[in-house]
Homo-oligomer: A and B are copies of this chain.
Amino acid sequence: MTNQILEKVNTIPWQERPANSTDVVWRYSKNPIIKRDAIPSSNSIFNSAVVPFEEGFAGVFRCDNKAVQMNIFAGFSKDGLHWDINHEPIVFGAGNTEMIESDYKYDPRVTFIEDRYWITWCNGYHGPTIGIGYTFDFKEFFQCENAFLPFNRNGVLFPEKIDGKYAMLSRPSDNGHTPFGDIYLSYSPDMKYWGEHRCVMKASPFEDSAWQCAKIGAGSVPILVDEGWLMIYHGVINTCNGFRYSMGSAILDKNNPDLVKYRTQPYLLSPQTTYECMGDVPNVIFPCATLHSIEEDKVAIYYGAADTVTALAFGHLSEIVKFTKDNSL
């Protein structure tokens, strides 16, 4: 598969587990890897997505500017750690539609399918919904029809077609600080019309797993492992001082990914460091992408921290899978 070939070429970022740690997922010691002011106009750079590209990596980055307008920018890196992010946001041409209105763009994900890099993001069209675009080269970009009616957030494509159709996870929302949120799956024959909507997994009961009891949303593009699709997702608890976002993992059935086989009862990572607990929105860990190598059994998870900076965590795929199975909700 094309994607796996790419993985072989690129050496993903990596740092061994600290000596004193038994955690399944551990933080990069030099976090955050992208600071809030990494480009001149930026107020914050977070909730961003990366993929292997050519000899290194490319990415689509959420850079809120100092007017706190949300937009997405292309960027490039040789090692996945140091990033050159364009100083101007991505400009889209018309893809499968002329209607490419966008009041704002945020929280992008990127996936390579067949012949191109597909980008999904939260697109402002009379409220948040899921925007879709693609690029072949991270230079020229094309915007397609929005996938869904408003209100929706966290649209994440599977990296290959399932039963001949594109498949996307998303989280139906409302027009504000949505206090609810579950993960759904939808299919499309053509990236234009979507249907066969299925509820995949819901926020958990408070008693069972409180960190994910208010809302949940898909994070990074699912990774195909032996057990199925490994999905990193975020879960939210509504504390008396606001929402706290943590990270967990789930394994979905390979052929029927609306079936959840396993799902972590404990979180993999919760906001505990200063850069996760202090910033524009405190106590947020928000994963949007991974770089991974099946062969090397490694994954590097990119996540937004405190809605302000971009950070990195590492793990062994096999350990995450085992942990997910052994600690399933």
A residues with a Cβ closer than 8 A to B are 22, 36, 40, 43, 64-70, 97, 99, 103-104, 124-127, 129, 145-152, 170, 172, 174-175, 177-178, 180, 182, 184, 186-190, 192-199, 202, 206-211, 237-244, 265-267, 270-272, 274, 277-283, 307, 327, 329
The reply to whether B241 and A242 form a contact with Cβ atoms under 8 Å apart is yes
The reply to whether B189 and A67 form a contact with Cβ atoms under 8 Å apart is no
State the number of copies, please: 6
Whole-angstrom CA separation of A150 from B170 in the bound complex = 11
Q: Apart from A70-B210, A149-B172, what are 7 other A-B pairs with CB-CB below 8 Å? A: A99-B196, A104-B206, A147-B195, A150-B172, A177-B238, A270-B280, A277-B279
Partner pick for A180 among B175, B197, B209, B329, CB 8 A cutoff: B175
Partner pick for A148 among B149, B202, B206, CB 8 A cutoff: B149
The reply to whether A103 and B197 form a contact with Cβ atoms under 8 Å apart is no
Identity of the chain B residue whose Cβ is nearest the Cβ of A327 in the assembled complex:
B67
Q: Nearest-CB distance from A94 to chain B (Å)?
A: 14
Whole-angstrom CA separation of A172 from B68 in the bound complex = 25
Most chain B CB neighbours (cut-off 10 Å) among A22, A43, A189, A271: A43
Partner pick for A172 among B99, B151, B241, CB 8 A cutoff: B151
Partner pick for A240 among B99, B206, B243, CB 8 A cutoff: B243
The reply to whether A186 and B149 form a contact with Cβ atoms under 8 Å apart is yes
Whole-angstrom CA separation of A283 from B126 in the bound complex = 29
24 pairs across A/B with beta carbons < 8 Å?
A43-B267, A67-B267, A69-B207, A99-B196, A103-B207, A124-B207, A125-B197, A126-B199, A149-B149, A149-B152, A149-B170, A150-B172, A174-B174, A174-B175, A188-B195, A189-B193, A192-B196, A193-B193, A240-B242, A241-B242, A271-B280, A274-B278, A278-B282, A282-B282
**Chain B residues whose CB sits within 8 angstroms of the CB of A125 once the complex forms:** 197, 199
